[in-house]
Amino acid sequence: MSNVEQTTGSAIKAEIRAYIEENFLYMHPGLEVSDEDNLLALGVMDSLSFVELVEEVQERYGISVQDVEITEENFGSIGALTRYIEGKKA
């Protein structure tokens, strides 16, 4: 992986983390979330939150998310979402 790709991945991860912290984590003060923590299992996100997150990802990164791609495997954690976005942009 080149430095440009690493920077892009790091930037995407930082943007996703900031979005989740700003929009969902405020309801969970003191909760520390790692990149691979399951956001649904922790109660950070619910089905409505997933819809909001999908819309944000599509708008921010200019990618089209198919219904079958809206899974915990792709959207369940900050790390999973970062990998998903990188894969769609590649």
User: Which value, to the nearest 10 degrees, does the dihedral of the CA atoms of residues 37, 38, 39, 41 take?
Assistant: -130
Do the beta carbons of residue 39 and residue 46 sit within 8 Å?
Answer: no
pLDDT for 83 equals 97
pLDDT for 47 equals 87
Task: Tell me: pLDDT of 4 over 70.
Answer: no
Residue 8 binned pLDDT confidence (cut-offs 50, 70, 90): confident
Q: What tokens were used for 57?
A: 């990802």
- Residue ranges of domains in the chain, CATH in brackets: 3-89 (1.10.1200.10)
Predicted confidence (pLDDT) per residue in 9-35, tens digit: 899 999 999 999 999 998 888 999 999
Q: What tokens were used for 84?
A: 């998903």
Predicted confidence (pLDDT) per residue in 32-69, tens digit: 999 999 999 999 998 899 899 999 999 999 999 999 99
Q: Which has more confidence, 9 or 2?
A: 9
Task: Tell me: pLDDT of 1 over 50.
Answer: no
DSSP result, 10-74: HHHHHHHHHHHHHHTGGGSTT----TTS-TTTTTS--HHHHHHHHHHHHHHHT-PPPGGG-SHHH
